[in-house]
Amino acid sequence: MMTGSPSITTGSRAAVWPWLLLALLIVLADQFTKDWILGNYRYADQTVVTSFFNIVRAHNTGAAFSFLADAAGWQRWMFTGIGVAAAVFIIWMLRSHAGQKLFSLSMALILGGAIGNVIDRMMHGYVVDFLDFHWAGRHFPAFNLADSAITLGAILLILDELRRMRKPRQ
């Protein structure tokens, strides 16, 4: 038996905690902002912040860009299930690749955002959105901090893969 060197399992488990902590911080920030919106705005209320940005209370029963928002209600459980399955898969990926910093950062961002939106679906039956950007009378679909984290995570995941593809093979 060797002493003084951690096993691969112990080392990888220890390395995953910072990424899970980051995901938790995203969930907390996301839920705090959504709770503030729910407590201070009625549905469809808005505050003009700039000529291109408003704070608005919106409810999204669908997915990105309100996909399936007009469905009969089954989509709540489908998107909740997809979010939970994604969270489990991401945690497994983090445990397997915790030492890859950019990859793990992207996974932690996506995980935090996915869990934040799953909490909304479970608690309210919809996702609370409140960031409303617009230009020349056209509004981008409202979104929230969880959506922002997922988007940033996806961009970083693509960047990580592009970096990996450009490295010379040995």
Residues acting as catalytic residues: 129, 147
For residue 89, report the phi and psi dihedrals to the nearest 5 degrees.
-65, -45
DSSP tag of 165: H
Residue 27, CB half-sphere, CA atoms under 13 Å: how many? 17
The set of residues, in sequence order, having a beta carbon less than 8 Å from that of 124 and lying 6+ positions away, is 59
Residue 84, CB half-sphere, CA atoms under 13 Å: how many? 10
> Which residue is associated with the tokens 């705090």?
32
Cα angle 97, 100, 102 (rounded to 5 degrees) comes to: 125
The set of residues, in sequence order, having a beta carbon less than 8 Å from that of 125 and lying 6+ positions away, is 61, 73, 76
